[in-house]
Structures are given as structure tokens and as C-alpha cells.
Chains A and B, each alone.
Chain A
Amino acid sequence: MARFRFPTPPPRQLREDIDDEIAFHLSASIEALVRQGLSEDAARARAEARLGDVTRLRHALYRIDHRSARETRLMFILRDLQHDIRFSLRRMARTPLFFALLVLTLALGTGTVMTFAGAADVILLRPLPLAEPDRVMTIWRSPADNPDLLTGLAPGTIQDLVEESRSFEVITAAEPWSLSFPLNGVPHSIATWRVTSGFFDVFQVRPAHGRLLQTPDYAPGAPPVVVVSHEFFMTRLGGDASRVGRPLLLEGDPVTLVGVLPHDFPFLEGRHFLTATRIAARARENRRSDYLPTFGRLAPGVPPERGVAELREAARRSDARIVGAQTARELRVIPLRNSLTGNVRTGISLLALGAILLLLTSSVNAAGLMAADTLERQRELAIRASVGAGRGRIVRQMATEAVALATLAGAAGFGLGAVGLRVFRQLAPADLPRLSELALDGRLGLLVLASVLVTTLVLAILPFRSLVGSSLRMAPGVGASPWGGGGRRIRMALVGIQVALAFLLLGSGGLLVRSWMAIQREDLGYQPEGLIAIEGHVWQFFPTEEAREAFGREAAEFLAARPGVSHAALTSSLPLAPGIGNEQARVNRPGSDVEVTMRAVIGTPGLLAATGVPVLQGRAFGPEDRSAGELVVILNQSAARLLFPDRSPLNQIVNVSYSAPPRARRVVGIVGDVRFGAPTAPPGPIVFLPHAQEPTGSLYLLTRHDAVGPGTIPDAIQAVQELVPGSPVEGALDLGVALRTSMAPRRFAMVLMASFAAIALVLTAVGLFGLLVQGVRARRQELGLRIALGARPDSLRRMVIREGLLLTLAGLAAGVTAFLMMAGVLRTVIYGVPAQDAVTLAAVTALLLVVTVAASWWPARQATRADPLETLRGD
């Protein structure tokens, strides 16, 4: 059998041919000269002289021939390649559906992975824009009985830690503050951090312009300076670098703008000014008021555990200096990285797991499709092998095809990934840390190309290996029997795996959907829709307690009278809103050692009615609760249970220490629990204090509107400006929107996981469908024979569907097992449903079975249409 070979001789052959040619020339030449009458020797000498230097000639000829052979070989390779590519494209064009499916399958998997690799890269893995960010720690307090309630530190405690800590290079604190700044002639209060010395030794960043705060800025009597956020610089100062070094008018006084923070400064929390402050001498002994967010930078070489242990010990010694009763508090130290991504990390990990499962599903599906295709090609390959195509030639043909496929799939996957990243940015909750840095980059593209290329090459060549071993030696007439052959068993296993993977994705998606539904049903304890809150700080307008008490009363009346407003109230604290005052109070029951640190909410009489918090016993605050009258409080159910587990607290006396030393107050009402934080956070104890008796100047002005439209917030701001002419207005908040925003991450995770599950379901259905169709086609003869022998159509249909169901059941068994094993991962992100939720498991199982039957339907019908005549004709 003639072997197909490149028509270019090897080097040795080239040399031999040249020698032969020269030898012939000489002998012919000599012969002719002898015929002319020369002696043999003379003839030889003459012939050689005419030819010239034979060695040089030989080299010259070899150079020409060798180059020629090389170029020819290259040309042949290119021609083969061209042929292979054209052949591959023709093959794809012949079965466009099959190849579209294959490309789409691979592209879906890689596109998804690219999206999530990109997102995870930005959100979790990319280094923070700080020098040695892993040494930066955030330091908090929490009540011993409620570790989730993080508060700042008291100034005295911070001073003690600064003096005693050896493992921390620097410890610094930041105080939330606000400074009035004129925008378009109207004073606006701009959220500010007042930071203590060393702040920028902890947050070591490079300023975008100018300089950051330096040690002399913190000295007493130093000229006041301010550093602004990049956002403020761009939007409010027009990005004008010449303003750095010149004064800004803050609170009516000129303060020098010394620098601009970098745009990616990791700790701003919506604040725009940074100014220098010191812990005042009189605050030195205040170790009780935990309100200053604190940060530290570990000294080089100190393991974090040691730093944390030392800090906790220092905090215990500091607490021991407190005179009088105190609640047990813990010191919590959290790496900055975790504090930025804490909530997001689990969700993203789950989604990454989902993306990887989807990639697996798509690869498995592609492997199945390719395996089927290879089986169908066995005959074609056998023919080509028998007419002399070498193994190398066939491998190259198949590799070319795989590369063509990989290129198409890679391009499609990259396109999908690019769209995916854009959708991710649109869909992702805006408060996802560092979302703005999310972008397509070349590394992601390479990742995609590499993964597709490797997958495809492996997919194309693995099945081929088995072919080289067996069917290439078969005579062209003998097709491999796909039924029961090794290839088909592999494919069945692949479909089974796909079912299992789909089960995992569907199960996870199902649990997230069920959690979402559970949360929607959850009672928040208040009605956020229609509530608008505007933050106001009125201390300077109403300097005395009497003035602020009167302001509270009049403001509520004024706001309630506005058109479209059904209720109005003033409060110090709101669910879903950043805190603006002291949020904590310690409440104890006289004559017992029960003391509970709980959230303190100051409100005017209309607060409960406006927010929709139900009064369960007693009454709401009324006009009778004046500063001159009896001191009263209202507790929520949780607080009531904690303080008075044995009896109703109504009309009982409690001691409340809020801004002043403990004062005895009478409980006049019990109200329902409120979920103050995220809707999934359990409600905690709350004590309500009447504004008239705690007349704070930092307030939310709260209005309930019958309908919230685009004009509602401007109207509300207008109202506040009429109420207190010249007052700064900052932070308008629509609680309905805030609630939806706070739910956005969960919604995002649910939608994505559900999409993954849907894609996996489709892929699985396609894989199953393809397997059954191919099985029916391979069994045409047998089926024809059965029909000829009188088999009933529905028994044939059942045979095919049974096969599909058996595969699905096997996959389901594996899927359920794997799902129960990974339930632990899910437990942290689901809410209100158990991880082994029977409803979800049953629904997903039913769904997969229905899809199986649907995917089997058409192949089953085809089975009944096998032609008995075809069987008789043979193949």
C-alpha cells in the first residue's frame, strides 16, 4: 500500500542525485572525446577540465536543491493546512447546528468563567492600593453578649492602646464629623473624618495632588488644613490642581486645601474631607463612649495573632481603670481587607463555584458532542487511512479542526465574557467594593484562549487515540458499533456527570430563590416604603436644650402639614441609614444585676406612627413627655424580654445611661421588634427616648409620603430649608430605595445562580438529547428488525425514554450526594430555609426528570420510524 509522503527527497538523496548527475556527465563527455580519437586518459582530463571544480559545483548544486526542497516542503504544509482548514469549515458547514452547539457550549462555559475570574480578581484578589495592606487592621468593640454589634472605641481606650501597644507601629482613630461648605452659595454640610496623628502612616497611599496630613498638622495651634476626596476634587473643585495650596471656606473660616486623596483610597465611606484632630485632654479619661473607628498598622515581622492578643490584653487593662459599673465588652481586630469584602466574600465564592460547575458542565457537554462526532467519523477516518493517509496526516487534520474550533469558541467565549462583565457591572450592587475597577483585560482573554485551546485539543485527540488503536485498521466497510462500544459508555458517563452538575447548580439556585422568598415574607417591623429622611445638624441654630426641644415639636408639626405628607417625626437613628449620633445606651433594672447595652433611638411623639412600628402595650410618646415632666422610655419586645423575663415591664422603672449619668425612667410602652440592619439580621433590643427629654441636634427629619415620585426628595429638602433657613442639608434618603439597595447583593447572587442553573439545564438536555438521537441512529437496523417482527411503537418509545431516565437517575444519585456534601458551604448564604431543603430537592429532581422525558421524546419517536427495509438492505 503506497504511503502518502511529501514529494521532497531527504538531504542524502539530494547528494546522491547530484553525484549521479555529475558522474553521467563526465562519462558521456569522455565517451564523446574518445570517439573523436583522444586516449581514455586525455579524454578524462579534458572532460574534467571543461566541467571545472567538481567539489565546488557539487556544493553549489546542493545549496540550490536544498533550499528548493525546504521551500517545497513548507508549501506542502501550507497547502495541507489550507486544505485542512477548508475541510474543517466545510464539515462545520455541513452540520452547522452541531458545530454551532459545540462552539456555543464551549463559549458559554469559558465566557462565564471569564466573567467571574474578572470579578473575583478585582474584588477579592487584587491588592489594596496601600503599602503592605495586610498589616493594616481595623479595631472595634462589641458587647460581650452581642459580638455582631461593632462600635468604635472610646477616646481614653485608644490613648491607652497607643501608649501600651508594642506590636503595632501606629494606632489612629477617625471621628465622623461634618463641616459646612458653600456650594452655589448654599451652605452644605460635607461628611468629614477628623483623624488623629498617624492616620496616613496606617493608610500609606500616594496623594493624587499636593500632600497628605503630616505630623506638624496635628500640633496644637497649627494652621488648619484639609485633604479632600478625589471625587470631591473632581466634581466640586472642577479637578483644578491650582486650588491645592489655597484656602477653602469651611464653617466660614479659610482652611488650606493641602492635598487630594487618590481615587482608590480604601476607607472613605462616603466622606469627602479629612482634617487633623487630637484626642482632647478632657477625653483622656473617657473609656466608656465607644464611638471612634480605630485602625492600626502591625509592626514589621509581628504575626497578626500576637498583635491581636497584645491589644486585647491592653484593652482589658484599660477597662480595669474605669471607675464604677460597666458592661462586659470585647475588643475585635479585623484585617482591613476582610472588613472591606466581608459580606461579599462568601457570595462571590459561591458564584465562583457556580461558574466553575457551569464550565465543567459545558466541557462535559462538549466532550460528549465531540465523542459522538468522532464515533461517526470512524468510517471516514478508516477510509482515509486505508487509501494511504498516514497517522500524522490524520492527527494534523484533526488538530487543525480542533484549533479552528477553539478559535471560534474562544472568540465567542471572549465576546460572551466581555458582555458578561458589562452585565455584571450593571447588575452588581453599587456598594460592591471596588466595582469601578472591574474591566476587561488581556490576561482574562489569554485565560479564555488557553482554556479553550487545551480543552479542544484534548477533546479532539483523546478519542482519536482509541481510533488509532482500533478502527483505523478496519476495512472501510466495517463501521465501529457505537452501541455498547467503549465510546458510547464514555458518553453515557459524561451525560450522567452533566446531570449531577446540573443538579448542584439547580439545587443552589433553588435554595437562593427560596431564601429570597423567605426574606420577602419576613416582617421588618416597620414600613420603609414612602419614608423620606433628611439628615440635619441644628446644634448651631438651636444652642440650648430648650430651643432644641421646641424645635423638635414645631418641626414635626410643620413637616406634617406639608402637602402629600401623612406623618412626620424627628429621630436620631433610622434603619438602613448611617448613624449620626450616639447609638448606644446601657439600660439596667434597679435592684438586679441585669444590664443590657442596646440601640438607643430618640424620637418625637409621631415617630412610631410615622415608621409604622406597632405599639403592643401602653402608649407611644405624646406631648405630655416634656423635659419638665416625668422621665419615660419605651422598650421593644426584645429589650423587654431581656430586662424583664419574669413580668411585664409596663410602668416599671429602668436606669438608662445615655448622654448623662444613669437616670431612672418609667417604661410607658412596649413596641414591636424592628430589623434595624439588613432584613436578614435578627432584631435586637432597642430603647426609645423622647426627643423632648434628650434634645439632640443631630436628627433625621422624617416624612411619610402617600406617593414617592421624582419631586419628593427635592420637596422635602425645600421644606427643611424653609424650616431652618440657612441650615446645611445633607444625606436625603428614600428608605424604600435603601431597602432595595441593601437587598441588591442577595438578589444579584440569586439571579446569577438561577441563570447558571438554567444554562446548565439546557446543556444537560442537549447532551441527553444528542446521546439518545445518536443511539437511535446507531440502532436503526436493530429497531427496523424489531418493527419487522411486530414490535409495538410504544414499547420502542418506552425503551428509549427508559434509557434516558436511567441515565438521569444515575446522575441524580451522584448529584444529591454531592449536594448534601456541599450543603455546609450554602448554609452561610441562605436564609430561612434548611440547606437540605426537601422542597428544593424534590422540585429540582422533578424538573430534571421532566426535562429528561422531554429530551427523550423526539429520539423516541424516531425509534418507531426505523425502516424495516433498510435493515434488509443491510449497510
Chain B
Amino acid sequence: MSPPIPILPGTLDFLVLKAASWNPEHGYGIARLIEDRSGGTIQVEEGALYQALHRLEHRKYLESHWGTSLNNRRAKFYALTPTGRAQLRKEVALWNRYAGAVAELLSHG
């Protein structure tokens, strides 16, 4: 197995939004989701993740509430707001075009 890649600059925000879009999730959960659903390819820098969460909450892309985790502990859960969902859609579309263009460019060898 090749070693995991640190998150590319500028992509953390929308990865976080994507991870929070399935279910309300706490910070630890979001870190794991990103790592697991990327097949272990992407490795999250956890300090940066928490700053991104708080920043996105401040921008009203996420909202938070205190709830109980699976093992019954008090945890702060983040959920995507409607604004955040729209923002996620925009960024995903942008990324797909970008990645497509990069792939296209590279395919010409």
C-alpha cells in the first residue's frame, strides 16, 4: 500500500463539507470519514481540520450542536446548512472540471 497523501491545499474545506453532508458528524468522525472513504489515500491534518470546521461554521456553511456520541459521550456535531450544501455543489463541480482538465492534459502524454 502506497503511503497516504496529505490533503492538497485548497481542498480541505470542500472535503469537510462533503464529509458532513451525509450525516451530522463530530470532528473525529469527519477525520475518519475522509480517510476511510478515500480508501486511506487522503490523510487529514487534524489541527487544520478543526480550524476548518470552526471557520465554516462562522461562514454559516455548517451549523453545530452538542449531542451524544455512539459511546455515550458529549460531543459537538456539525451538520451542513442549506448554504453549505449549495457551496459544496459549486466546489464539487469546479473540482470535477479541474480534475477532468488535468486528466485530459496528462492523457496526451
Contacts and interface: CB of A to CB of B under 8 A. Distances in A.
A31 B28 CA distance: 11
B54 interface: yes
Nearest to A24: B75
A50 B28 contact: no
Nearest to A25: B28
Contacts of A52: 45-47
A64 interface: yes
Given A51-B47, A61-B50, A67 B58 contact: yes
A67 B27 CA distance: 21
A500 B71 CA distance: 80
B2 interface: no
B47 A57 contact: yes
Nearest to B28: A28
Contacts of B75: 21, 24, 28
B76 A51 contact: no
B83 interface: no
A28 to B, nearest CB: 4
A52 B47 CA distance: 6
B108 interface: no
Interface in A7-49: 17, 20-22, 24-25, 27-29, 31-32
Interface in B13-36: 26-29, 32
Interface in B28-71: 28-29, 32, 45-47, 50-51, 54-55, 57-58, 66, 69, 71
Contacts of B28: 24-25, 28-29
B73 to A, nearest CB: 6
A60 interface: yes
Contacts of A56: 47
Contacts of B46: 25, 50-52
Among B50, B57, B75, max chain A CB count under 10 A is at B50
B33 to A, nearest CB: 13
B45 A24 contact: no
A61 B69 contact: no
Contacts of A68: 54, 57-58
Contacts of A53: 47
A65 interface: yes
A60 B74 contact: no
Given A28-B29, A71-B58, 11 more contacts: A17-B76, A21-B27, A21-B75, A25-B26, A27-B73, A31-B71, A50-B46, A51-B47, A52-B47, A57-B51, A64-B58
3 smallest CB-CB distances across A and B, nearest first, come from A52-B47, A68-B58, A28-B28
Interface in A69-126: 71
Contacts of A67: 58
B54 A61 contact: yes
A56 to B, nearest CB: 8
Contacts of B73: 24, 27-28
B1 to A, nearest CB: 16
B98 to A, nearest CB: 28
A21 B49 CA distance: 13
20 contacts: A17-B66, A20-B74, A21-B26, A21-B75, A24-B73, A25-B28, A25-B50, A28-B26, A28-B71, A28-B73, A28-B75, A31-B71, A60-B47, A61-B51, A64-B51, A64-B54, A64-B55, A64-B58, A67-B58, A68-B58
A271 B26 CA distance: 94
Nearest to B32: A32
A65 B54 contact: yes
Contacts of A27: 73
B76 A60 contact: no
Contact of A60 (B26, B32, B51, B66): B51
Interface residues of B, number: 21
Interface size class of A (residues with CB under 8 A): 20 to 34
Contacts of B58: 64-65, 67-68, 71
Interface of A: 17, 20-22, 24-25, 27-29, 31-32, 50-53, 56-57, 60-61, 64-65, 67-68, 71
Interface of B: 26-29, 32, 45-47, 50-51, 54-55, 57-58, 66, 69, 71, 73-76
Contacts of A60: 47, 51
Nearest to B70: A28
Contacts of B71: 28, 31
Nearest to A50: B46
Contacts of A32: 32
Contact of A21 (B29, B47, B50, B55): B50
A51 B49 CA distance: 9
Contacts of B55: 64
A65 B51 CA distance: 10
A221 B2 CA distance: 119
B51 to A, nearest CB: 5
A855 to B, nearest CB: 58
Contacts of A31: 71
A610 to B, nearest CB: 95
B6 to A, nearest CB: 12
Contacts of B54: 61, 64-65, 68
Contacts of B26: 21, 24-25, 28
B47 A25 contact: no
A51 B48 CA distance: 9
B81 to A, nearest CB: 14
Nearest to A17: B76
Nearest to B75: A24
Nearest to B51: A60
B86 to A, nearest CB: 20
B64 to A, nearest CB: 9
Contacts of B69: 24, 28
Contacts of A61: 50-51, 54
A828 to B, nearest CB: 73
A51 B27 CA distance: 11
Contacts of A65: 54, 58
A44 to B, nearest CB: 14
Contacts of B76: 17, 20-21, 24
Most buried by A among B46, B55, B66, B71: B46
A22 B69 CA distance: 14
A68 B55 CA distance: 9
B97 to A, nearest CB: 30
A57 B66 CA distance: 20
Nearest to A62: B54
A687 B5 CA distance: 124
Contacts of B45: 52
A20 B64 CA distance: 14
Nearest to B52: A64
Nearest to A53: B47
B27 A25 contact: yes
A50 B31 CA distance: 11
A25 B27 CA distance: 7
Nearest to A61: B54
A52 B73 CA distance: 23
Contact of B74 (A22, A24, A50, A64): A24
Contacts of A24: 26-28, 69, 73-76
A724 B69 CA distance: 120
Contacts of B32: 32
A644 to B, nearest CB: 106
Contacts of A28: 26, 28-29, 69, 71, 73, 75
A71 B60 CA distance: 12
A386 B102 CA distance: 64
A210 to B, nearest CB: 72
A16 to B, nearest CB: 11
Given A20-B74, A24-B75, A57 B57 contact: no
Contacts of B57: 68
B16 to A, nearest CB: 14
A68 B62 CA distance: 13
B39 to A, nearest CB: 18
A340 to B, nearest CB: 69
Contacts of A25: 26-28, 46, 50
A341 B32 CA distance: 91
